[in-house]
Structures are given as C-alpha cells and as structure tokens.
Amino acid sequence: MKGKLKSKTEKSRIQLLHQYYNYTGFYSFVWQAVRKALPFIALLVVAIYCLNHFFDINAALIRLTETLPAYGVLIFFFVSETLLGLIPPEIFIAWSGKMHSPWLFLTILAFASYIGGLLSYWIGVAITKIPTVHEYLEVKMAKQLKNSRKWGGFLIVVGALLPLPFSMSCIAAGIITFPFKNVVLFGSLRLLRFLAYGLIIFHIF
C-alpha cells in the first residue's frame, strides 16, 4: 500500500514538473535552441570530418602531447578550453594518465577547463559590448533573451557534463548576461565530469 502511494506521489510530482516546464516555455526554449544550433553543429561536424580526412587530427594532438613539455600541454589545453573548447578533453585526460602523478595532472586539467570556461563567460560579455550586437540582442532578440536567462542554468549544466564545448556554453551565458555567480556554481559540475572520465580511463572501475 505504501509502495503504491509513493509511486503515485512520485508520478504526481513528475506531472507537476512537466506542467511547470510546459507552462513556462522550457520545452519550447530547448527546441528552439537545438533547432537554431543544428545547422552550425552540422557544418562544424562536416568541416572536422573533411579536415580529419586529409589530416589526422587525433594523431597530431597525440604527437603534440608527446612533444611539448608538461607545462606546454597544460597551457595549450587551457587556451583551448577558454577559446571555444573544440579539442576533446579526453585526449588530454589520457595524456595525464601517462604522467608520474596522473591524478594531480587530471586535477590541474579539470580546474584549467573550469577556469577557462569562466573566462569564456567574460568573452561573451565583451561581445555584447559591440554596438551592433548589443542593439540586435536588446531589440530583435529581447523575448528570446528573457527565456534564455530563465534557463541559463540548464545551458551551463549541459555544457559542463555532456560532451559539448563547455566554453561555448559559457560564452552564450555571457551573451545573455546570465548571473556569473550561477555560472560559477553550475559550472563546477565540470570538475565532476573530469572525475568520472578519470575513473573510467584510469580503469578504477
């Protein structure tokens, strides 16, 4: 009996949550964001595929980690994570596993990615200072910005945990002027992702 009541309570909570998201326009916001991003994502995937067809990107990155000194690799990764973050962090995580103190280097990579994302936020803020961009956002995109600010935390969480460029999510958060303190909070989940990857790649499980 108690199990049935608990199940009904959980179901009613899920229904209420669904109604709330539907009423506040969350689903519409996510769909519009995905729909608008799809052409750019497709173009990026095609460009990377074509580049990789003629030039083995992964092999080049692996050679880079083997050629540069440790501090050079860390600096390169930090710059990458600050500027768009298109290079998969897994390559650098695998590199850290070959170092004499793998967890130390993994920790440095995690915080480099996190701090790089926070710096990316201010790049987004700087973009909004461009007069034409500012006018476009405040006049033509006012409604979209309002919804984006409401769900900006979701944007950061997705960028922090999923295999998507964290830097881009933070730049977008800066453009929509999502509160920086919330970026700091939600963005800290980025550290959790590196921990999870470390446990898998270092064969802890």
Domain assignments of the chain as residue spans, ordered by start: 1-55, 57-201
Mean pLDDT of 72-97: 87
Q: What is the Cα 94 distance to its own chain's centre? A: 19
Give the model's confidence band at 115: pLDDT under 50 very low, under 70 low, under 90 confident, else very high.
Answer: very high
Closest CA to 36 of 172, 186, 174: 172
Mean pLDDT of 17-43: 59
Structure tokens that stand for 21 in this block: 């998201």
User: Would you list the DSSP string of 152-186?
Assistant: HHHHHHHHHHSSS-HHHHHHHHHHTT--HHHHHHH
Q: What is the pTM of this model?
A: 0.70
More confident residue, 36 or 126: 126
Task: Label residue 15 exposed, middle or buried (CB < 10 Å: 0-12, 13-18, 19+).
Answer: exposed
Give the model's confidence band at 93: pLDDT under 50 very low, under 70 low, under 90 confident, else very high.
Answer: confident
What's the confidence (pLDDT) of residue 198?
83
Calculate the average pLDDT of the chain: 76
Residue pair 198/103 in contact by the 8 Å Cβ criterion: yes
Distance CA 88, CA 173 (A): 21
pLDDT of residue 97 exceeding 80, the answer is yes
pLDDT of residue 13 exceeding 70, the answer is no
Mean pLDDT of 17-41: 59
Structure tokens that stand for 202 in this block: 């270092």
More confident residue, 153 or 102: 102
What's the confidence (pLDDT) of residue 107?
94
pLDDT of residue 200 exceeding 90, the answer is no
What's the confidence (pLDDT) of residue 5?
46
